[in-house]
Homo-oligomer: A and B are copies of this chain.
Amino acid sequence: MQAQPDFDDLKVIAFDVFGTVVDWHGGIASEVERLLPGVDGSAFALAWRAGYQPAMRAVMDRIASGEGGFTLIDELHLNILEGVLRDFGVTHIDAAGKRELNRAWHRLPAWPDAVAGLTRLKSKYIVCTLSNGNIGLLTEMAKNAGLPWDCVLSAEVFKAYKPDPRTYLGVAAVFDTSPGQVMLAAAHQDDLAAARACGLRSAYIERPHEFGANRPKDVSAHPDNTLHARDIGALADLLGC
């Protein structure tokens, strides 16, 4: 398929990672069931993930009020985990076990189309992460799952989490491009809307089973996105890779 002419100046495709490139729900659920037999892995994964946005907002509020510094997601995940373990009544796990469970986020499996799709896109564009995950987490995940990033960019580099404009504009600054030469690819409309507000292009990736096979999510197209793709391979088709 030929790329549309108006993608001629596109230079960078930055990917959201959790949910868009890797299956956090399936990965966490199976590691929870492996490490904590008898616990409902799916419910545990949903509860753990639900703590993520409030924890990031609390960090940004503390930074804004001058009361704290930037915090890596590994540390936020571990703090959230304490509460989830309590809520699920899990008491038979020591500190080393908690760290091992926390590293499940470093071992999340790629969606089946991700490695091949990214490899195709990489032939034509700079393909990087733009995730709130920390650099170490994203690097180990990529090594484990075979994700062929040209570069691992993270909230850790910009000292701000998405949807802070510093993250989206930071990608353009890193590669010395205009915002419009960068496209964010994500399975989340709010992430894409924040990127568009900064002048980036946006590609929605359908991940109907992000929250589990039994909890299909709405993946209908939003007219403001530049592109809408079933998966990363379909995005490569649309961009003529």
The interface of chain A, by Cβ under 8 A from chain B, is: 74, 126, 128, 134-136, 138-140, 142-143, 150-153, 156-157, 174-176
Contacts and interface: CB of A to CB of B under 8 A. Distances in A.
A151 B152 contact: yes
Given A135-B151, A142-B150, A156-B157, 20 more contacts: A74-B176, A126-B140, A126-B143, A128-B139, A134-B174, A135-B153, A135-B157, A135-B174, A136-B174, A136-B175, A138-B151, A139-B151, A139-B174, A139-B175, A142-B151, A143-B150, A151-B152, A152-B152, A156-B174, A157-B157
A134 B170 CA distance: 13
Contacts of A176: 74, 136
Contacts of A128: 139
A238 to B, nearest CB: 22
Contacts of A126: 139-140, 143
A134 B143 CA distance: 23
A174 B176 CA distance: 24
A74 B138 CA distance: 26
Contacts of A139: 126, 128, 150-151, 174-175
A156 B151 CA distance: 13
A129 to B, nearest CB: 10
19 contacts: A74-B176, A126-B139, A126-B140, A126-B143, A128-B139, A134-B174, A135-B151, A135-B153, A136-B175, A136-B176, A139-B150, A139-B174, A139-B175, A142-B151, A143-B150, A152-B152, A156-B157, A156-B174, A157-B157
